[in-house]
């Protein structure tokens, strides 16, 4: 399932590249920094053999077909660029993968396979693989994947907003799209594990590059300077480009502008063919079995992440707290199954062996006490929507229905989660 991506670490389409992170890189970061700090860019030390390919705005790729006009983001194993397809006169996203990851990344083959499968409800939010090519440079050979561009992640839209909320009808549309997308992927035996992005409006292709800059701003870059004063090596770019901001605030997205796309399929896998025990999604979205179970992650694990994502799309705050998700999972949903409970060494900091919160050790909740499920719903969803003006109110009837819906997600015992048929029926 897709995840919200935090700002700074993965802005807009800054890909998670999580599947690649599970492999051991041949590159070792030096103990001391070699370069003057440039904020909000990829790790400069990864511009080395096997690492990133040095690119700049204005570069032409694939025999002059794609001209880079801005930077969209980066991940541990790729940089993503907004490019103009000079052959079709439209904008595309070009993901340039590091040299050491280019040979084994499954993203291109997976997108190709999904694109060739019969379409169905939910397939419309999957990115189309428009093109694929290779480039050679000082740091190796790099696979480049071309897809339609996206303007921002869902998290970035919320982060940019004062209230951190989507309009109710927009939130419902996003949730419906997510559910359909998960149903489609699961029907193709795929667990996603990537990011959720908001699509550009179609009018973007009519903008010339100067018009694009006039609307969204010129690309920003900073010079790369070695701390020891030595010249840069051939594989290091002279300038680092900060990803541009093409997004809008969540409360400024209106119905018709909320089309989403799933991205970053480098972490996606078929659980029938691939055994995977750990999840690279954000800790507050991870199911507990990703930490404790000896069984491979399954579609049920994906449903857990979907449920948490739905909560965050409709609410102002996440269901579980980022700094201690396990603690708030137990507080909200109940004690872990015995085989997991005994593996959690940190449980004694807050709970007795029956899973009851020890209020002598800690106080919980925004008012200093432990929050029940209903209190958490009110705190995260109902109260922010009631206090953010008419545009944010979902109505009492909507509140009751959403409360009933959320009680189905996830189960209190954290063991059984219904699969995608439940999603489809409740979409």
| Binding site as annotated, residues | 95
Distance CA 7, CA 282 (A): 12
Q: Cα 259 to chain center, whole Å?
A: 16
Is beta strand 220-223 parallel, antiparallel or unpaired with respect to 78-85?
unpaired
Give the tokens for residue 143. 């696979």
Name residue, tokens 């428009």: 130
Instruction: Give the annotated binding-site residues for ATP.
Output: 95
Do residues 355 and 381 touch, judged by C-beta distance below 8 A?
A: no
Do residues 184 and 423 touch, judged by C-beta distance below 8 A?
A: no
Phi, psi of 29 (to 5 degrees): -70, 135
Length of the chain: 427
DSSP 54-120: P--TT-EETTTTEEEEEEEEEETTEEEEEEEETTTTEEEEEEEE-TTTTTT--HHHHHHHHHHSPP-
Name residue, tokens 């419906």: 176
């Amino acid at each position: 399932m897709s995840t919200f991506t935090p700002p700074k670490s993965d802005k807009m389409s800054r890909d998670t590249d999580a599947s690649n992170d599970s492999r051991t890189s041949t590159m070792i970061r030096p103990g001391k920094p070699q370069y003057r700090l440039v904020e909000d860019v990829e790790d400069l030390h990864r511009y080395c053999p096997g690492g990133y390919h040095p690119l700049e705005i204005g570069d032409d790729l694939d025999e002059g077909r794609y001209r880079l006009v801005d930077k969209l983001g980066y991940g541990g194993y790729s940089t993503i660029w907004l490019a103009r397809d000079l052959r079709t006169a439209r904008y595309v996203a070009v993901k340039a993968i590091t040299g050491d990851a280019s040979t084994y990344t499954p993203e291109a083959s997976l997108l190709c396979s999904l694109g060739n499968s019969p379409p169905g409800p939910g397939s419309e939010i999957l990115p189309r693989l428009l093109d694929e090519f290779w480039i050679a440079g000082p740091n190796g050979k790099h696979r480049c994947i071309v897809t339609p561009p996206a303007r921002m992640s869902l998290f970035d839209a919320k982060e940019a907003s004062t209230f951190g909320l989507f309009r109710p009808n927009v939130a419902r549309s996003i949730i419906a799209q997510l559910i359909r997308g998960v149903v489609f992927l699961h029907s193709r035996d795929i667990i996603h594990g990537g990011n959720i992005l908001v699509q550009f409006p179609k009018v973007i292709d009519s903008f010339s590059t100067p018009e694009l800059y006039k609307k969204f701003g010129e690309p920003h870059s900073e010079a790369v300077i070695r701390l020891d004063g030595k010249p840069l090596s051939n594989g290091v770019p002279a300038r680092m480009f900060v990803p541009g901001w093409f997004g809008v605030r969540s409360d400024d997205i209106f119905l018709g502008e909320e089309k989403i796309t799933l991205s970053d399929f480098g972490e996606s896998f078929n659980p029938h063919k691939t055994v995977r025990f750990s999840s690279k999604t954000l800790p507050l979205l991870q199911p507990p079995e990703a930490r404790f179970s000896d069984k491979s992650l399954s579609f049920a694990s994906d449903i857990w992440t979907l449920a948490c994502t739905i909560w965050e799309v409709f609410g102002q705050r996440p269901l579980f707290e980022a700094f201690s998700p396990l603690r708030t999972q137990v507080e909200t949903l109940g004690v872990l199954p015995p085989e997991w409970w005994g593996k959690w060494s940190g449980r004694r900091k807050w709970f007795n062996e029956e899973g009851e919160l020890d209020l002598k050790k800690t106080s919980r909740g925004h008012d200093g006490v432990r929050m029940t499920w209903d209190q958490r719903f009110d705190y995260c969803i109902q109260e922010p929507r009631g206090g953010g003006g008419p545009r944010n109110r979902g109505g009492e009837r909507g509140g009751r229905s959403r409360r009933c819906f959320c009680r189905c997600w996830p189960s209190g015992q954290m063991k059984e989660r219904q699969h995608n048929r439940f999603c489809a029926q409740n979409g």
